[in-house]
Each structure stands twice: as C-alpha cells, then as structure tokens.
Amino acid sequence: MRYREIPHGKEKVGVIGLGTVYYHHSDLTEVERTVRTALSHGVNYFDMIVEREEAFLSYAKAWEGVPRSAYAIQMHFGAVYENGPYGWTRDLDRIKGAIQKQMQMLKIEYADMGYVHCIDEEEDFRHVMRHGLWDYMKGMKADGKIRHLGCSTHNPDILRRFLDTGLIDMAMFSVNMAYDYASDGPYAIGNRENRYRLYQECESAGVGLSVMKPFGGRRLLDERISPFHCAFTTNQCIQYALDRPAVLTVLPGVPNAEYLKRALAFLEASEEERDYAKLADVTPEKIEGTCVYCNHCLPCPKGLNIGLINKYYDLARVGDALAAQHYQNLEGKANACVACKHCEKRCPFHVKQEARMKEIAQYFKEEPVQR
C-alpha cells in the first residue's frame, strides 16, 4: 500500500480504502471477509455507509485484535438504519441515536472522520448549520469523539460552503473522468473548470479528499454505458482520481473481497496499465493544451516529474503557499528543462510543455541552469 498524509492531522491513509460492501443479504460473512482482506493488504481507511445495520457487527469482528490506531473510519452523520436497511435523515435526535448505536456496534470510542452526510442542496446545508447538527458535531470533536470534521457531497458549491467554515479537514467527493469531462449523470455537478478549481481550493485549504464513485458508478468500466463510448480500466480510473489535487484516498464500493482485490491490483500495476492518456482521444476539444498531470510524457531526459511540476505550479498560482513550498523541495525544477521537446511529442493533450517550463521557471524566479 502507498500512503498519503492528512494535511491537518498527519495520519497516513492508504491511497485505496474501502467503500461500501454491497453484500448479498443472506451472506453477511462476506462483509467480514472483505474487511479482513482489506486489512491484510494494508487498507487502513474505511467508509461507514453500509447496506444494512447488521454489517457494522461484521466490521467490528474483522477489526478484533487490530490496534485502533491502525485504521481510520469515516462516519456519516445523517445515515440511519432504523428498519435495518440504509436510510438518511436531517432530524438531529435520530442522527444522535444512530451515531451512538453505530459506534456501539463498531465497538469504537471515536470516529476518525465525522462527516455531515450527503449534502447536495443549499437548503440542507443551512438546516445542518442552524438546527443543531453542526454544533453537535463540533461538540463531539471538542470531546475527542470525532478527530476530524468533514462532509460528503457531490456538489462543488456545497463543499465550498464547508471549506468556508474553516473547520473541516476532510471531505468525501465524487471524482472521476465522466463527472469532470462528460457531465454524465445527476451527480456530475459543476463543469470541468468549476470542479477542477474545487480540487485546488481543497488542496490550498489543506483539506483532503476521499473519493466516492471513482468509476462513475461503474459506467466508465463498460463501453456500452460509458459516456465516452469506450471503457477505462479500474487502474486508469484510480490513477486519474489520485492525480487530482487534494485527493488522498479512493474508496471503491465492492460486492465482495474478489472485487476489492481487483481494485487493489492497482498497487502492482505498471505505469502503462495506469496510464489514462486515452482521455485525450475522447475529450479532445475540452482538454487540448491542458496539463492533466498524467505523466504520459515521461521519461524526461533531465529526470523532471513533469506532472508534479505542473500540478504545484497551477496550485501556487491560485495562492497555495504549501504547494509552492513542495515545488521548492523538488529535486528537478522547471529551470532544468533543456527544451528537447521529447515530452511534447508524447503528450496526448498537446501541451506546449517546453514553453510552460519556461513560464514556470520564470514564475518561481529560477536562474537558468548551466548546460
């Protein structure tokens, strides 16, 4: 497993976590088996939306004997299971009861992440802020029962409203190529520019993203239903999400341990297998000339990490001081570019990288390197 650090916390979370396990109702043992499989592969980040309430017990069983500090849980304030299956509410008393019960079933004293659950409308946001839920969650944080506050949403503007509170450290957001480039489906809220700006704003604010719907509800994996009329692989979808600013972990929802292993195969996949450059073929007019940080253009003869240099530059330009600092810590910087244009020949998005490297070097006031 590869791990990334929560900016406002320093805990390290695996780049692949576990989303909902969609188990067959007659076979609850599958949930336990999937969670154990996750743990044995270094997964340490778990989303706690389940299909039916009894699944919480299966998680608790799988975690038995594992130190609590070895795994992180994101709990959803608003998800309820009053008659067994998943449901949701904005009623504060019902939320309080549900969270207490879930924590008891999970045998945990605290939630690593406490998320306001699935807010996509401004009206819901106002309700949460005015009718006690946010205050309740802040109180739980003060009492050490929540380590980090956050929210889950599909709507960039709602996430911005939470960013404006200055109190969140993490958020769950839907990130995939279909939502970013094809505006495909009801959860694809905001155009590409808006969504992309949001990723930058989260990174600048030190707010990490855990990713839901990394495969666009599996549509991206099947050419018959893909909005691009071609299929991408799980490896390509995961790499795409992990390349967006602020993203720390991708949480695929799976029906069983075998599906989880397919997602975890990402960790052993080659660069070619993770390369999503064919996105350029299916979205030519939207992406032309824009660096998407895919690193398809590597290797650079000067050893430059072209994707990362471009990502830090874009973030620095919108005021992200930390990204500017990260840039300064890179071993190879833009001024080392020898203008060979090797990358330009390989870039499927036709980015004029040589000119961009000059621009980046100027921005960071770098002296030309003696060649």
Positions in the binding site for ligand SF4 (CB under 6 A): 291-297, 300-302, 304, 306-307, 310, 337-343, 347, 349, 351, 353-354, 357
Of 139 and 301, which CB lies nearer to ligand SF4 in the complex structure? 301
What whole-number distance in Å separates Cα of residue 129 and Cα of residue 131? 6
Q: Is 107 exposed, middle or buried (0-12, 13-18, 19+ CB in 10 A)?
A: middle
How far apart are CB 275 and ligand SF4 at their closest, in Å?
Answer: 9
How far apart are CB 248 and ligand SF4 at their closest, in Å?
Answer: 20
- Give residue for tokens 């309820």: 80
Of 205 and 297, which CB lies nearer to ligand SF4 in the complex structure? 297
Cα 225 to chain centroid, rounded: 23
How far apart are CB 349 and ligand SF4 at their closest, in Å?
Answer: 4
Of 29 and 362, which CB lies nearer to ligand SF4 in the complex structure? 362
Of 34 and 239, which CB lies nearer to ligand SF4 in the complex structure? 239
Ordered DSSP codes for 91-138: -HHHHHHHHHHHHHHHT-S-EEEEEE----SHHHHHHHHHSSHHHHHH
How far apart are CB 321 and ligand SF4 at their closest, in Å?
Answer: 23
* 3 state DSSP class of 69: helix
How far apart are CB 123 and ligand SF4 at their closest, in Å?
Answer: 39
How far apart are CB 202 and ligand SF4 at their closest, in Å?
Answer: 21
Of 12 and 286, which CB lies nearer to ligand SF4 in the complex structure? 286
What whole-number distance in Å separates Cα of residue 344 and Cα of residue 251? 33
What whole-number distance in Å separates Cα of residue 267 and Cα of residue 16? 9
Of 230 and 339, which CB lies nearer to ligand SF4 in the complex structure? 339
- Structure token pair of residue 338: 């020898």
